[in-house]
Amino acid sequence: MAGKLTKEHMNLLEGMIGCGPKSFKLLYSITRDGCSAAEFHRKCDNQGPTVTVLLNPQGSVYGGYAGINWKSTGSYTMDDTAFIFQLVFSGKRVVNIFRPKDASKALYFGSNRSALFGHPDFEPFLDTISVNKDGTFSLNGRLTLGTYYNSNNVSNDAINNGSMVVTEMEVYAVSADDARTSTPKQIPWRKTPTLNEEYLSKMTEELASLTPPKGSGITDFRLLLVGPTGAGKSSFINTVMSAFADRVMQKSAVGGSASGLTNKYKSYPVRQGDGSCLNIRLCDTPGIGEHSAMDIVNLHFLLDGHLPNLFQFIPSRHVSIKTDGLIQQPTLSDEVHSVAFVLDASTLSDMSPAVTTWLNDCKKMVQEKGIPLVVILTQIDKLHEEVADNLADVFNHSDVKAAVDKASETLSIPPNHVFPVKNNHTEVETEVSIDSLALMALQKMIFMASDFLEERMFSKEECPTEPNEVTESDTA
């Protein structure tokens, strides 16, 4: 019997254990040997370091590593190399390692107990468990991180799906003897923190605390999204909203209309789960296309802050100084502080010359006004099935890098101003990787907007100017 531990899982565990490649020899399996504490100890005692692995019907894989021999008698035992781990959650790769807070209570030895880590923070079962009719085992142990092992702010339910029903439990002897050859470690094309619960929590707290520079006279960063129809501008807004609310939201209308559903300039305040507003406004615009109302003239008025919230664009009609409701003397609060071109990563190569020209013309205008610009690449899950299966590994995937490089080349902007994301589409609950990627792009926009505002304030102090003048286009 070969066991359920895959080569990829072994590679991940080798990295967690450290000190180079290892061999993994299957000692015990509950489907082969029976789910009995006595059999566990008969097979696993005095075998040196071991990995205990549980697999459940939801497709999750988790377990624990003991760096010393298991024994049948005793009590709490010191093991400063022990840890609890997570490799897969609900069929998707989610990697976490949970180290002891108190290594003196890392392991517990008992003849009627299987592998026991902590108080127990993790114990698969005790005594004997019978197999269910469907071939699963309803273990009588528990997973309750946080007593003697760090939880890393990961909930127990986010590891074992809230259940101790498993399809398999295996124990492997781990040794440096006859070590297997590991798969070469991938070098990420962009160095970023691990996209996990801890990173997401840190990001939401940091972004919630950001405010415009003191003395700017404004309360909110105004971030503008522009791009082709159907690229995902409105969906990106919804994804950001969901990350802060911790539930999937749909504040901005989305759909499959060929001309897009957005026909107004609309700014959305970003709110936290308690309803409080952040100092961020995400501004949606009609998609560019054959029958779009967005063009270079209208964008000029929009960037300079002349268009009020809910301004409705009319196709084939330019904004002018005579347009009803125009803000004649916009303040810095009305202006756009950062711009994102939102593009579909899966259709970059099919983008028409007309759209490419429009984007480059817009880029030139944005840069002439000194407004910072980034690119948000949506639909990255359509680039390769491996990307869709494991968004947390996006910065190791060559297809995503190729899309980032393509956008950078097409628009002549630095690759580190291009951010791959996946918007919520089929999801009914928020996902850590989706939220993290969206907030990574948002953070860049806000940091650049803050720098822009500080530069504007400095320039105003050095060279006072008159309020913005509204100029009418000769094409209006």
> Domain map of the chain by residue range?
7-175, 197-462
Contact 262, 287 (CB under 8 A): yes
Q: Tens place of pLDDT for every residue, the chain, 476 residues? A: 578 999 889 989 998 998 888 999 999 999 999 999 999 999 999 999 999 999 999 999 999 999 999 999 878 999 999 999 999 999 888 999 999 999 999 999 999 999 999 988 999 999 999 999 999 999 999 999 999 999 998 999 999 999 999 999 999 999 988 776 655 556 899 999 888 888 999 999 999 999 999 989 999 999 999 999 899 999 999 999 999 999 998 877 665 554 455 678 999 999 998 999 999 999 999 988 766 778 899 999 999 999 999 998 887 788 888 888 899 999 999 999 999 999 999 999 889 898 999 999 999 999 999 999 999 999 999 998 778 878 888 998 889 999 999 999 999 999 999 999 999 988 888 999 999 999 999 999 999 999 999 998 877 665 554 544 444 444 33
The full DSSP string for 405-441 is: HHHHHHHT--GGGEEE----SS-SS--HHHHHHHHHH
Question: What is the C-alpha separation between 458 and 465, in angstroms, rounded?
Answer: 12
* The amino acid at 317: R
Question: What is the C-alpha separation between 193 and 150, in angstroms, rounded?
Answer: 19
Q: Which of 107, 188, 102 is nearest to 392 (CA)?
A: 188
DSSP 3-state assignment of 105?
Answer: helix
Question: What is the C-alpha separation between 340 and 225, in angstroms, rounded?
Answer: 5
Q: Which of 57, 176, 35, 179 is nearest to 115 (CA)?
A: 35
Question: What is the C-alpha separation between 94 and 158, in angstroms, rounded?
Answer: 10
- Looking at residue 464, its pLDDT comes to 54
With a CB cutoff of 8 Å and minimum separation 6, the contacts of 300 are 365, 473
Question: What is the C-alpha separation between 402 and 405, in angstroms, rounded?
Answer: 5
Q: Which of 29, 142, 161 is nearest to 92 (CA)?
A: 161
Q: Name the CATH architecture for the domain at 197-462.
A: 3-Layer(aba) Sandwich (3.40)
The CA distances from residue 310 to 252, 283, 307, in Å, are: 13, 10, 9
The CA distances from residue 381 to 72, 180, 217, 386, in Å, are: 48, 32, 41, 8
Tokens of 148: 């003697």
* The amino acid at 250: Q
DSSP 3-state assignment of 221?
Answer: strand
- Looking at residue 460, its pLDDT comes to 66
Question: What is the C-alpha separation between 85 and 96, in angstroms, rounded?
Answer: 6
Contact 66, 43 (CB under 8 A): no
